[in-house]
Structure 1
């Protein structure tokens, strides 16, 4: 018997204000429980396992003044992502979430336990061979690297298919034939235009408002935070105009500043409607799946952080939701309810194929939106403390 565990977007970052993952203890507990099972286990991180996209590069500089040497840390978000940039980010992620990495190391130390990392739009850095090798070394050590796998854009086992899902999202899909660009003689990642825009123009705002992006529905959140809505809308419009009229001329030698013309209409539509969410993808996936020769019974997608379940014509379609720190806003009461963490559990043997969407206990404390809005940085620390208290090892 094989057990397949599929996790949605975990998005481990580097521990800064742009890092939305705080469930180290809860995830480590789950991994350790899976490690101690007697049966075979495939643990699948279904894309966006790591939030390379929002992870900065941190530099330490020395300043000499008044006879003293002062060290000061500075950070930035590089637009041109080469292997060295990705490796530096991986080290930051490892140090920020070592508890999870230690649990994964214990998991792959078991001969019948296998770990899979599907590639998503936040961790396209896994395309670099050097990053995959480093990750295998961090998790597998010297003896267990063969139990760490990188299946690319999808995980497949018998009648089970897991994909991240960004390839069905117009603004986040990548042409798999062109993973890389060349800039100043270096190979860099060819991430979507929207990702380039986020890295260059919006992460400083994420640092100022680290919690707001975790709140759903976005329209309800913006209705209570019109100042942020107007700021992002204006910034988005200016960036769009610069991308059309200025950047292609100013940076004509830089391939990261070119963009498909069809993006113009889509991006303008989103600004006009203040639509800052990721579009739903399941119906697009189902259309594509119908045309494929190989059929599956269980389909698991990530990318969309809302939970979703549909069973029809002998097939099952599941979004297990995200492992980020996220909240549902009650517009009437103004309360923020922490979202429950879930995963897909599939049992495969010769006679059966069973599945279950498992929900973990949520002992987190609801928050008051206006309190969080007034001091987001304070609540970042309170959220981490509350998360630690909510997880109980039995």
Structure 2
């Protein structure tokens, strides 16, 4: 029996590259709807027509934490708030969702969704139903990780203190009229600070290492650096001494957050620990936005799917703005053993596109 698995992460779909009034959307990160459509169409043609193909979306496919709710960015996220937000993403990316629907309209197609930190709102049953309605297929939902055929698939945010979600307390209910999501500090920081900064400097969350950007801004964007620096200090103080118990941040965590934001995240050590399990030969992470293939020990490996969004590296060894459409393709040998490989989709479309997405 011929079968494949195709693993992606970190698409960061927003409300679309143009807003309802025709203006460009500075919060949109995903501009490859047609290339994704072409990718899926490729796997419906010969020799793949009758293959069993499973798509695995490994977190941060939807950039829900950077979607407004009726014009406001709120960190008090109820199920109804999340439902409104995901509807705006579906409306903003019709090509993406229609392509998924067409691809999955086949008895030998399946979709698994592993939740990340930017799409934590997919924990709600209501958002899951809306997503499934948009693609016309039931989804195999995974809150933390997915193990299949010797492969461990996980987004990777749980290995950073900034973005770690408490798996025993996904929702907050005490003293509240209805449940809300229990957000990690990194998500709160994104909603309450980064989103507002991104509205005036859209590339700010794409730059790594962030410390280089800080120094560049001090000399070349001085007034912005001063004003945003003051706001940043004020924000850290307010969260450090917040009167809202579940929104507090310890001083130790605050400094750890600043350090983690200044470097490329590296999940290699986490992968090594998982690979100690005898029945796992490959770990697939996302989250870092940096594609990677690392052999570990005998016949084991760590793969990172990278991202289909831009990365702006200010590191001298990797200085560039780049967007590589990377993914993991899992083939099977005649004995049924899985063979995961890091791949790069090139494709042929679009011939031209809006320069805003370049």
Q: How many residues align?
A: 336
Q: Secondary structure at the match of 2:239?
A: helix
Q: 1:274 to 1:108 in 2, by over 3 A?
A: closer
Q: Is the 8 A contact 1:341 1:360 kept in 2?
A: yes
Structure 2 residues without counterparts, runs of 5 or longer: 17-24
Q: 1:281 to 1:315 in 2, by over 3 A?
A: same
Q: Which residue of 132, 136, 150 corresponds with 1:136? A: 132
How much does 1:215 deviate? 3.0
The residue that corresponds to 1:33 in the other structure is 42
Do residues 163 (structure 1) and 154 (structure 2) align?
Answer: yes
Aligned 1:275-354 pairs, distance under 5 A: 275-277=261-263, 279-290=265-276, 292=277, 295-313=279-297, 314-329=299-314, 336-351=320-335, 352-354=337-339
CA RMSD of aligned residues (A): 2.7
Q: Which residue of 18, 22, 45 corresponds with 2:27? A: 18
Inter-partner Cα distance in structure 1 for 2:317 and 2:290 = 21
TM-score by length of structure 1 reads: 0.78
Q: Which residue of 119, 123, 137 corresponds with 1:127? A: 123
Inter-partner Cα distance in structure 2 for 1:115 and 1:274 = 32
Q: 1:243 to 1:216 in 2, by over 3 A?
A: closer
The residue that corresponds to 1:50 in the other structure is 62
Q: Secondary structure at the match of 2:287?
A: coil
Q: Which residue of 196, 199, 202 corresponds with 1:210? A: 202
More strand by share: 1
The residue that corresponds to 1:222 in the other structure is 214
Structure 1 residues without counterparts, runs of 5 or longer: 59-74, 365-379, 387-394
1:263-311 deviation digits (Å, cap 9, x = unpaired): x21322554x694456322213423553x5x631111001111122111
The residue that corresponds to 1:191 in the other structure is 183
The residue that corresponds to 1:360 in the other structure is 345
Moved more, 17-26 or 93-102: 17-26
Q: 1:117 to 1:269 in 2, by over 3 A?
A: closer
How much does 1:349 deviate? 4.9
Q: 1:381 to 1:122 in 2, by over 3 A?
A: same
1:123-178 deviation digits (Å, cap 9, x = unpaired): 011110111111111111xxxx23x3212222221211210011111111111111
Inter-partner Cα distance in structure 2 for 1:100 and 1:202 = 26
1:183-208 deviation digits (Å, cap 9, x = unpaired): 63111101102211221223111111
Inter-partner Cα distance in structure 2 for 1:217 and 1:155 = 30
How much does 1:79 deviate? 1.3
Q: Is the radius of gyration larger for structure 1 or structure 2?
A: 1
Q: Secondary structure at the match of 2:179?
A: strand
Inter-partner Cα distance in structure 2 for 1:303 and 1:12 = 14
Q: Is the 8 A contact 2:10 2:286 kept in 1?
A: yes
